[in-house]
Amino acid sequence: MKTLCSLLSASITALLVSTSAVAAELEVLHWWTSPGEQRALSELKAAVHDQGDEWVDFAIIGGGGENAMNVLKSRIISGNPPTAAQIKGPTIKQWGSLGLLADIDPVAKADQWDSLIPEQLQTDLKVDGKYVAAPINIHRSNWMWVNPEAFHKIDRPVPTTWQQFFDSAPLLRKAGIEPLAIGREDWQLATLFETVLLGTQGVDFYRKALIELDSAALDSDQMIAVFTTLASLRNLLPSTPEQRWDAATVRVIEGKAAIQIAGDWARGEIIAAGKVPGKDILCKAVPDTENDFIYIIDSLVMFRTTDQQQQQAQARLARLLMNPEFQQSFSHYKGSIPIRQIIHSKADSKTVDACAQSARHALETSAKAGSLLPSMVHSMAVNERVKRSFFDVVEHFFKTPRMTPEQASAQLKAAVSASH
């Protein structure tokens, strides 16, 4: 005979996986505010609408999501969380362990997410073995977006090493082209740090310094070498950087700047501008990271609620986020790869551009080689406090020309050690 407990849990499961319920309002916090991101988001809004629910937009400007996390904290503290939010990595675990997140495992079980999401990535989405975050896609951060015309004008090849880039920089400036486009937000400087660190020091050092937070690695000759390359990049920062990362991408698209180091959300901007990624704007791995993939998963968590209509709408949303057609169309505009296609790769080479194909190839190679790495900058590797310490030291280094690589390395160890 069934126990009351198992009957209750069966009825909760039925409630969660049922799709034919009363429509509800879904208030979703995110930071997809650039033209490309908004275009991708419109696919999600339309799909939610088609399911009969009403999307209530809760958008907070600021790539990397730090502003969004601050706003979210205050909503949670005041006891009024949104229905769902874009959250990543260890923060998912933190909110989940506090019992704030809805268990979406019944949907995941019914739709067999375990067989669709690579095991390494599943752990980023679960708390105590149960899914609390519904993933959509995977982004790669170690990209260099290049305007080939800029290098054509100065009669130099598109750089594949930092030295080639540094050698081209004075010629680019002479031709009236900024060598490097970058936005004013600190996470973009941190992107230079994260990707240069991987390229110049390799996978093991990346793991030690940015994931394990090994104090010997944080202040080391290798870290000094990272800041030495960053010092050369520091000399090339535009005097008036753009406000936002996507405005920096537009400068590359328009040929006012030669390169931008950015995740493949930049591909979404290239598409939104009507250009062809891989042709009009080239996608090259950051020097010496061709076989590596610094990953970011976009996922939404659902906040625990006692309202049954909301619970059903959350389950509908979770199921939708893993829908293969939705993931395909979202990723097309977003510049990412659908997460469920990583295992059951059905990528159609006719419909995806050269950069998407190259991202998929890098993903497969890096997963085999053990160089699929979570991004520190995009909160996949460390919590927000630790991330902030990295950002503060890196930003201070870029904004203080007299600061030496040795000082930066010592400060990094002190700041990061104090924050965890």
Question: Least distance (Å) from ligand BGC to the CB of residue 89?
Answer: 10
Report the distance separating Cα 189 and Cα 179, nearest Å. Answer: 15
Distant-in-sequence contacts of 117-121, Cβ < 8 A, 24+ apart:
117/339, 117/340, 117/342, 117/343, 118/342, 118/343, 118/367, 120/367, 120/372, 121/295, 121/297, 121/339, 121/342
In angstroms and rounded to an integer, the radius of gyration of the C-alpha atoms of the chain is 22
Report the distance separating Cα 226 and Cα 217, nearest Å. Answer: 11
Question: Least distance (Å) from ligand BGC to the CB of residue 232?
Answer: 26
Question: Least distance (Å) from ligand BGC to the CB of residue 117?
Answer: 17
Residue with Cβ nearer ligand BGC (31 or 131): 31
When binding is defined by CB under 6 A, the residue of 31, 151, 390, 397 that contacts ligand BGC is 31
User: 165 to 194, contacts with ligand BGC by CB under 6 A?
Assistant: none
The residue whose two tokens read 């090259």 is 284
Question: Least distance (Å) from ligand BGC to the CB of residue 161?
Answer: 27
Q: How many helices (H) and strands (E) does the chain have?
A: 18, 13
| Helix (H), strand (E) at residue 138 | strand 133-140
* 39 belongs to the binding site for ligand BGC (CB under 6 A): no
Site mask, ligand BGC, residues 351-380, x = CB under 6 A?
Answer: ---------------------------x--
Residue with Cβ nearer ligand BGC (139 or 340): 139
* 135 belongs to the binding site for ligand BGC (CB under 6 A): no
For residue 147, the one-letter residue type is N
Residue with Cβ nearer ligand BGC (43 or 288): 43
* CA 262 vs CA 70, 85, 329: distances in Å: 23, 23, 22
Question: Least distance (Å) from ligand BGC to the CB of residue 218?
Answer: 23
* 159 belongs to the binding site for ligand BGC (CB under 6 A): no
When binding is defined by CB under 6 A, the residue of 124, 194, 269, 298 that contacts ligand BGC is 298
Which residues are at the interface with ligand BGC (CB under 6 A)? 31, 37, 63-65, 139, 265, 296, 298, 378
